Structure 1
Amino acid sequence: MKVYVKHISLIAFVIAILTGCSGKKEITERTSSTYVPLEISLGLQRTMCYGSCPSFAFEVLNDGRASLTVGRFTEEVIGRHLDEGDYKCTISVIEIDQITAYAEANGYLKLNDTYDDKRVMDLPVAISTINGKTVFNRYNGPNLDDLYSKIEELMSKANWIAEPGTQK
């Protein structure tokens, strides 16, 4: 009788373990299939030069959260005055996808990572990011003005909210 009880207990224990593990696996699979890691979908940074070049850094995550750090001479790019500092907003994922699709269709992902000559000092840099691919474009790089214009137009339409510490 003791052997019989031990076998039943062992069988019940094995069944409990197997069903418990399969339930956890299902939860893990469900969780992992809906989890989307946050990453930068779209970005554009322009650096200063010795003249009146606009300087800013703009990034949008794949969930639409955007950040903008405003430097100097950005009125023309953004279409209005924003004080120097940090801003946040949310941008439509559809608009982000349109720009990233445009960039990818025009060969952005095949570009070199860097177009530069370290001896050239007075040219501003345009650093763009599309779905994880970043291109540093200062000297002898491809003409990405159409892409930059699309990104800057998106920036100009956004309803930017100043972060604490941004001067007014």
Structure 2
Amino acid sequence: MIIRMRSAALVLGIILVLTGVVSGSSPQYISLERGMCFGTCPVYTVTLFENGSVFYHGERFVKEAGNLTGTLNGSGFSDILQACNETGFFQMNDEYVNLDMTDMPSATITVQNGSGIKRVEHYHGDTRAPANLTVLEDLIDETVQITRWTGGSDTAEGEQI
């Protein structure tokens, strides 16, 4: 798993250089990483960049495994940044990882903007996590139309949709 994530990070770095996202200043990006559960929860990372580029890395229980790129329509990136502000994302704890319920998936949102980097780890079995965090995770998925790459929520590894 760690090797795959390092591989994805390397590919992401190459894509950043090729797409021109990397410049003299730090690029703004929003990343959502969905982790495993006890079942067939999709495992993937999707990263949105301020220039509208989208990078997807699918690992398990997704329609499209591997690396794919896309583009955002309209103001998707700025809409999510605004939602981060409105939901209080930048004031949230860095992690919500209590095991109040077991066998649940995890999600991690990382945002780099002009103010720095904020990362929030969210285990969906932690009952103290703010509801706005799940809303923000779902907004990112909806904005990039993630189901085009992951398939439906019932998608099993290798299953054709």
Q: Report TM bin, short chain.
A: 0.5 to 0.7
Match of 1:71 in 2: 59
Aligned to 1:134: 119
Q: Which amino acid aligns with 1:98?
A: D
**1:116 aligns to 2:136 (yes or no):** no
Quick one: structure 1 residues 158 and 72, their matched pair in 2 at CA, closer, same or farther if it must change by over 3 Å? Answer: closer
Q: Per-residue displacement from partner, 1:73-113 (whole Å, max 9, x unpaired)?
A: 34xxxxxxx32111112224621101110121121100011
Q: TM-score, normalised by structure 1?
A: 0.60
**Is the alpha carbon distance of 1:153 and 1:133 closer, same or farther for their aligned partners in structure 2, counting shifts above 3 Å?**
same
| Corresponding letter in the other structure for 1:64 | G
How many residues are aligned here? 121
Q: Which structure: larger Rg?
A: 1
Question: Gapped runs of 5+ residues in structure 1?
Answer: 1-34, 75-81, 161-166
1:39 Cα deviation from its structure 2 partner? 2.6
Amino acid at match of 1:102: A
Whether the 8 Å contact between 2:49 and 2:77 is mirrored in structure 1 is no
The TM-score normalised by the length of structure 2 is: 0.62
CA contact (8 A) 2:95 2:120 kept: yes
User: Percent sequence identity over matched residues?
Assistant: 24
Which stretches in structure 2 are left out of the alignment for 5+ residues?
Answer: 1-22, 150-157
Residues 158 and 124 (structure 1 numbering): CA distance in 2 closer, same or farther, change over 3 Å? closer
1:152 Cα offset (Å): 0.7
Relative to its length, the structure with more strand (as a share) is: 2
Residue of structure 1 equivalent to 2:44: 56
AA aligned to 2:136 is L
- Measured in 1, the distance between the counterparts of 2:58 and 2:27 equals 21
Q: How far did 1:159 drift?
A: 8.1
Higher helix share: 1
Compute the RMSD of aligned alpha carbons: 2.9
